[in-house]
Structure 1
Amino acid sequence: MEELFEQGEALKGVRILDITRIILGPWASTLLAELGAEVVHVEIPGAGDLLIRAVGPQGQFPRNISPGMMCASANKYYLAVDLHKPEGLDLIKRLAASSDIIMENFKPGTFDKWGIGYRQLRELNAGIVYLSMQGFGNWGSLATRPSYDAYAQGITGLAEITGFPDAMGVKSSAWIGDFLSGTVAAFYTMAALYHRKRTGKGQFIDLSQAEVLLRCMDWTWLYGFLKKKRRERFGNRDMAVVPSCIVRVEDGFVALAGFSEAEFEGLCLAMNRPDLLVYKPIEQRLVEAETIYEAIETWARTRKTGEIRELGERHGFAVAQVMNVKDLHQSPHFNQRHSIWKFDDPLWGDLCYPMALHLADTPGRIRWSMRPVGFDNEYVLRKMVGCSAAEVAALYENGVVGRWNEQMAFTKPPVGWDGQQGLLFRE
C-alpha cells in the first residue's frame, strides 16, 4: 500500500471550507478529502459538533473515538471557531477568500444573517462554489424544518416501501439518507467546479436531502404516477427483478439472483426443478413471481451456504453469503483490493475503514482519521490564514478559537496523548 501514497491526488490544490454538521455535510467533504482536497472542518470550541461526536453505540467511545463521527471525518484539518463572535466570522471570511468550495448545512438564512452567506462571500471570491445542504432545500414550505436520516427516510416514502407486507415500514439501519445525499452533494460540487474551470464563475448549490431520496426511488415513483397505486412491501423479495432475493439457509442467509434467462435456467437446474423452466421468459417470471420465490425458499432452507454458493458457481447464477462486519474484515476479495483500509493513524493507532475510490492514477487514500476539537487550529491559522503567533494567542485569549472539552471524552485526544503526537504545526 506504500506505493499508493507515491501517486498523485485528483483534487490536490482544491481547498474546501467545511462548516457542516452531523453526517450529511461531513460525508460530502470526506469523499473529496480522500481524493486529495484540502478540507478545513469548522466546529465550535469545546463540544465541537456534539450531534455527531456524541454518537456511539450504547455510549461507547473506545480510545476517546466517536464511532459515529469517524465514518465521515478523514483527512481534514480541524478548526474550532466561535461563529457568534465578529472575530470568528472574520476568520471564516479570510479562509473563504482563498477557498474553492464552501459547504454548510445550517438552517436556511443563518449564514446570510451572519454575513457569510453566498451573496456576501462571492464579493470576496467570485469563483466560490457554495454548497448549501438542507433537509428540504433553502426555500419552500418545509425549508425551515430540521431533517435527520430517519426523518428523510420517512417523509420521502423510502421507509414506507421497506419491510415485510404484514408489518410496519422499516428504516434502513445505515444512515442511507445522509450517505447517499452526501455522495450526490460531492458529485454536484464537482460539476460546479468543472463549470467554473470553463467559465471562471462560481455558483450556489441548493441541495435537498429529501429530493435526493425521491430521485432514487427506482420504479416506485413512475408506478405510482401511472397506476395511481401505492407500492406494496415485499420484504426480501424483488418483484420487479425475478428472482432476486435474500433467503434463509440452514446456517444463515444468502442473497440470490438469476434474472437473465441463462442464470434462471442454471438456478432451476441447481434446484432440480426443470418444471420451473416454463417461466424462463423474463416477463413470465414477473407474473409468476410468488410461485418462483416459494420454490426457492423451500429449496434453500435445508441447504448450507457453501453448498448453494458452489451450485451458483457451477450453474452460473449469482449467490453470496449475507455477510456481517467480521466476515467483511476477513474477506480475501476486499482485502486484496484494499477496499478494507487498515492503517496506523498518527493519533489513534490501528484503525480500519472501507474504501471505494480506486482511480488508477490518482487513487483515493486515508492519511489520518478524525481529530479532536480544534486540533489543527495553529496549522490552519498560521499556514492558511496567515496569522502571526501574537494574533493566534489573542484569538485564544479572547475565546474566538479554542480546543476540546476535557470533560467530554469524544472531543479530546486519546488517553496518554503526549501533547505532540499527530500535530501538523509546531513552533
Structure 2
Amino acid sequence: MISQHKKSALKGLRVLDMSRVLAGPFCTQTFGDLGAEILKIEKPGSGDDTRKWGPPFLKDADDNDTTESAYYLSANRNKHSLAIDFSQQEGQQLIKEIAAISDVFIENFQPGKLAKYGLTYEDLRKINPGLVYCSISGFGQTGPEHTEPGYDFMAQAFSGLMSVTGETDGNPMKVGVALSDIITGLYASISILAALRHRDLTGEGQYIDLGLTDCTLASLSNLAQFYLTSGETAPRFGNAHSAIVPYQSFETSDRHIIIAVGNDTQFSRLCEVLGHKEWALDSRFKTNQSRVKHRQEIISLISEILKMHPGTYWLSKFRASDIPSSLVQNIEEAFSSEQIKSRDMKIEMRHPQARKDIKLVGSPIKLSQTPVSYTKSPPICGEDTVRVLQNLLGLSEATIQNYTKKKIIG
C-alpha cells in the first residue's frame, strides 16, 4: 500500500545530501518520508558505493540484474539523484548554489576532506547563515582517531558493542545488521531537527558533529553505565540478560522461543504454566535478585520442561497467562505475520527499471496528522540531475549541455 498525503511534517524543507552508504542516507530517507525534499549528490557514472553492494540486485523486465542493489534500495527512497562531479571547480559551484537555498547539508566524508573543495561548514555558512550542517564520521571531528576511516564494523568493535554481543563462552560478535550506522542515522535526525528548531527561533544555523563510535557507545546505555557505576566491564550473556532472570531464549521441541520475565509476578505465573508453582516460593528463585544469583539452576529447570513441547504450544500458554514471550522468527516469518502486515511495514513502489512494483521496508513512524508518504522510488544515479538543475537553479539547456560535455554532471 502506497501512502500519499498533502500534509507532511517536513514539507518545504530542502536537504542537500552528500552522504553515502547507510548512516547519512538512513537519516535523509527518514526526512524524505516525512515530506522533505532530498537532493542526493552522487559521483557521475558510479554513484553511491552501496549500489554495487550485492547480490541481491533489483531485476529488470528481462529478469537480469540492474545496477540497483538491495542494500542501496533500503535507504534511498523519496530522493532526487543529482550526479555532480564536485572535484571540478564548476561542480563545486553548483553544490554551493544549491546549498545557498537549502535548509540542511549532510555529509559523511573523512574529516577535513571537503576543505579542498570549499564545502566545509565555514565555507557554506558565509553564503547561507541559516544552514544546518551535519557531519557524520567514524570518530567525530576531534580526538586522536578522528582521521581514521569510519565503518560500522569498526565502530561496533571500538565502542565495546562487540564485547557484549555473542555467546558467553564464544567470540565477540558484531550485530547482524549495521547497527552503528542505523543508530547514528537516528541521532543525526534528532540533532538536525533540534538545530532546525533553533534556527526557526533565531535564524541561526549551526554545525553538527556526529561520530559512529560516540553514537554506538551512547547506545550501550545501561551496559556502559554498568562500567561507570561498578568499575567493571559488563559480562557477555549471549541471549540472556545480565540483571534479569529468566530473560533469554530457550529451545523447545522444534524451535527457539524467548521468555522475557520482567518482575516476580510474571515469574510466579510462569511457574504455574510450567507446572511448578513451588519454584515461586523457593528462596533461591522467589525474587529476581535471588534468581540472578542462582541463574544456572532455574534456567536448567525451565529448559528441561520447555523441550517437551513445540514452540507454538508454549507461546499460546504464555500469551494466555500474560507472560512476555515470542517465537524466534526469521525475516520472512516476520513479514508474513498478521501483526506486521497490519502495520504497513512492507510497501510497494514503481521503479523505472523493474517489470513490476518493487517491495521496500515501510517506515515505522505513524503520525496521526502528518503521516509519512512514499512518493518516489530509490532513484537511478543522476536520473534527476537535469530537471533539478533547470528548475532549482534556472540553468539553460546550453549550460546543461556544456556541463554534460565537460563531465561535470551525469
Q: Report if TM-score (shorter chain) is over 0.5.
A: yes
1:351 alignment partner in structure 2: 358
Query: SS where residue 163 of structure 2 aligns?
Result: coil
Alignment counterpart, residue 203 of structure 1, candidates 195, 203, 206: 206
Alignment counterpart, residue 118 of structure 1, candidates 107, 112, 121: 121
Specify every segment of 5 or more residues in structure 1 that has no aligned partner in the other structure, as ranges: 403-427
Inter-partner Cα distance in structure 2 for 1:359 and 1:115 = 39
Deviation of the 1:347 alpha carbon: 4.7
Cα deviation digits, residues 179-225 of structure 1 (max 9, x gap): 11111111111111111111111000000110001111132222223
Cα contact 2:365–2:372 (8 A) shared by 1: yes
Alignment of 1:270-281 (within 5 A): 270-278=273-281, 279-281=285-287
1:102 paired to 2:105: yes
Query: SS where residue 151 of structure 1 aligns?
Result: helix
2:267 alignment partner in structure 1: 264
Cα deviation digits, residues 307-343 of structure 1 (max 9, x gap): 1111112111011111112212211111112122234
Alignment counterpart, residue 324 of structure 1, candidates 325, 330, 347: 330
Query: SS where residue 368 of structure 2 aligns?
Result: coil
Paired residue type of 1:382 = Q
Which deviates more from structure 2 when the two are superposed, residues 267-276 or residues 168-177? 267-276
Which deviates more from structure 2 when the two are superposed, residues 274-283 or residues 17-26? 274-283
Cα deviation digits, residues 80-119 of structure 1 (max 9, x gap): 0111100100000000011000000111112222111101
1:366 alignment partner in structure 2: 374
Alignment of 1:65-76 (within 5 A): 65-76=68-79
1:314 alignment partner in structure 2: 320
Deviation of the 1:346 alpha carbon: 5.2
Alignment counterpart, residue 291 of structure 1, candidates 288, 293, 297: 297
1:25 alignment partner in structure 2: 24
Cα deviation digits, residues 269-288 of structure 1 (max 9, x gap): 11112122032433333323
Which deviates more from structure 2 when the two are superposed, residues 100-109 or residues 314-323? 314-323
Specify every segment of 5 or more residues in structure 2 that has no aligned partner in the other structure, as ranges: 61-65
Cα contact 1:152–1:210 (8 A) shared by 2: yes
Inter-partner Cα distance in structure 2 for 1:210 and 1:6 = 37
Alignment of 1:28-107 (within 5 A): 28-50=27-49, 52-57=50-55, 60=57, 62-63=59-60, 64=66, 65-107=68-110
Instruction: Provide TM-score, normalisation by structure 2.
Output: 0.93
Paired residue type of 1:240 = A
Number of residue pairs matched? 399
Cα contact 2:73–2:360 (8 A) shared by 1: no
Query: SS where residue 6 of structure 1 aligns?
Result: coil
Inter-partner Cα distance in structure 1 for 2:10 and 2:353 = 25
Cα contact 1:237–1:293 (8 A) shared by 2: no
Cα contact 1:239–1:289 (8 A) shared by 2: no
Inter-partner Cα distance in structure 2 for 1:130 and 1:238 = 39
Inter-partner Cα distance in structure 2 for 1:298 and 1:351 = 45
Inter-partner Cα distance in structure 2 for 1:253 and 1:341 = 29
Query: SS where residue 5 of structure 1 aligns?
Result: coil
Instruction: Provide TM-score, normalisation by structure 1.
Output: 0.90
Query: SS where residue 71 of structure 2 aligns?
Result: helix
Alignment counterpart, residue 151 of structure 1, candidates 146, 149, 154: 154
Query: SS where residue 135 of structure 2 aligns?
Result: strand
Cα deviation digits, residues 142-184 of structure 1 (max 9, x gap): 0100021111100111011111121110111211011111111
2:401 alignment partner in structure 1: 393
Which deviates more from structure 2 when the two are superposed, residues 340-349 or residues 250-259? 340-349
Inter-partner Cα distance in structure 1 for 2:279 and 2:373 = 48
Inter-partner Cα distance in structure 2 for 1:343 and 1:263 = 44
1:411 alignment partner in structure 2: none
Which deviates more from structure 2 when the two are superposed, residues 63-72 or residues 128-137? 63-72
Q: Return closer, same or farther for 1:344/1:335 CA change in 2, 3 Å cut-off.
A: farther
Which deviates more from structure 2 when the two are superposed, residues 260-269 or residues 176-185? 260-269
Inter-partner Cα distance in structure 2 for 1:317 and 1:344 = 42
Cα contact 1:12–1:36 (8 A) shared by 2: yes
Q: Return closer, same or farther for 1:6/1:114 CA change in 2, 3 Å cut-off.
A: closer
Which deviates more from structure 2 when the two are superposed, residues 260-269 or residues 144-153? 260-269
**Percent sequence identity over aligned pairs:** 30
Deviation of the 1:60 alpha carbon: 4.9
Alignment counterpart, residue 378 of structure 1, candidates 355, 367, 386: 386
Paired residue type of 1:307 = Y
Deviation of the 1:363 alpha carbon: 1.1
Deviation of the 1:136 alpha carbon: 0.4
